[in-house]
Structure 1
Amino acid sequence: MSGVASILRALSGRRTATEEARQLVLSIISSQQTPPTAHEIYKLAVQQEFAAKGEILQSPAKNAAAAKQHSTEPPYPTHIIRSMQHLKRVVLRSLVNSNDIQQVHKIEALPKEERAKRLHSLSRSGKKHADHTLAPVSIWRWQILTNKPVPPKPKEKPVFGKEVGVGQDWSHLNKRRQRSRIGSVRRDVRWLWELENAKTQSKKAVNVDANATVDATATATPTATP
């Protein structure tokens, strides 16, 4: 049973963003001059967690990186943001649903490092058509949502007897005066119910009389002969 419980806890954790993870991502996004991409957020989150633990982030060897790609375990299972999928599917989605961040689309030129990397990988014949390879790219970035939609105020249900003291706070009174005030309000509410009931019955009686008058008038009206 303990194994099943741990699996269930792990699954629920993957689907729910902790407040710690949400705050970490919000702090990263708000601290950047340019809205970051998901990859940039993830990279900074990993760096911050290693720095917080006093550890050094080392570039994994190629064999280790390949093994990690085929592993079902997240790259950093003990971290707040343990994987790129967790960041995208859980944390960022949670922040979008709470109207804290939004995704923005941009067309941007490649950074110098990326341009140099792509040029270096091109063959001699490919460099003749490098314009297509080095063309501006479509990028999705994340930014703080400054103008949050204001949720509508919940409609207050009218409280019957409010005018005679229903719902008022009498905690400042002593016990004897509280009991006296409650009894007084109960009597007033009972009187209000009787008054409302009398008004309702009076309206019904008026409607019945009006309908009867209309019927009597229609019956008494003579039919015109041709």
Structure 2
Amino acid sequence: MSTTSVHLTVRGIDVHVVYKDIKNLHIGVYPPAGRVRVAAPRQLDDDQVRLAVIQRLPWIKRQQEQLRSAERQSVREMVGGESHHVWGVRRRLKVIERPGRPHVEIGGDRLLLYVAPGTGDERRSDLLDQWYREQLRQAIPALIERWEAKLEVSVPWWGIRRMKTKWGSCNRESRRLWFNSELAKKHPQCLEYVVVHEMLHYLERGHGPRFAELMDRFMPDWRSRRDGLNAAPLAAEEWAGH
């Protein structure tokens, strides 16, 4: 799909606009600083997009304020005593240096990282990232199976990757779903919300009224789950919410 990008300033707010072959206009506000991005149909011009943004300014400003006041995680140094979140629960990291296979496990209220003596912080971070991904690999299949039955759709393929602008994505043509690896740090209800959100894109491409109606029908509390997801602590590096 070819796209054209422009930057607009709307009442003091920088807006990144991407024109593409879609039917509905979508406005997104992304962490950590409330960056505004618009996906717009090609038939619209800059003035029409600007008007749409102006009409949504109260909502945009509320989202930006929520994101700016959200708790931020400190930069990860992968040392003992650091706080890390697992499924929405804050746990203190304990690094245990000893020979043998490196691995991660939960012990009481601690997150235990077993590494060989002298293991650097980058390798420690990679090990923890792999562990988070494995948590998602274990959690996602049951969710997909449950919601395939409820939505009467089939998910032929899904994967996990680090994404900077979304919690998840759906390619309707290939029917592939991607999930942000950061979701293992959030509450399980947030993960389920993202799974359902992306699966519903099989039924509705955009985020217009029909998509909201489908979310309301199948997950009535989706807005509170979404707000909880965006209010959860954000990683120190820049990556964005759905």
Shorter-chain TM-score: what band? Answer: under 0.3
TM-score (norm: length of structure 2): 0.18
Higher helix content, 1 or 2: 1
TM-score (norm: length of structure 1): 0.19
Higher Cα radius of gyration: 1
